[in-house]
Amino acid sequence: MIEYFRLNGADSQHLLASDTRENPYEVSLCPVTEGMGQHRSIRRVGNLALAVKHSKRNHWLISTWLDGMVFRARLLEEFEKRGFTGYRLRPATVRFRDGYLSHDYSELASCPVG
């Protein structure tokens, strides 16, 4: 039997991060609905760059306000050891309150169904 897991964001404010870039999104307007409350497509451009309000570097998982989660390399190693599949990763950076910039995290990217 195949097991499925659903990951939810953290409830703790301590594990929530904010995007460090001014405007990381690109907005595309739908030409078909022009003049009718035009539909928009919004996507983030580039890799996720986050900032947290603490300097504790031992968290394996950090949630974002809008963009999902980032995972520390140690957690991803554990995923691999346990045979977890069905996810894609994108590079991410996390800046801690003391200024340290970590490249030890990856964003869990959404996977197309099908």
Q: What is the per-residue DSSP string for 10-30?
A: -S-GGGEEEE-SS--EEEEE-
**Residue 109: per-residue pLDDT:** 78
pLDDT tens sequence across 74-102: 999 998 998 888 888 999 999 999 999 99
- The answer to pTM > 0.95 is no
Query: β-pairing, 101-109 with 40-44?
Result: unpaired
Question: Which two structure tokens, joined as six digits, stand for 36?
Answer: 């009718």
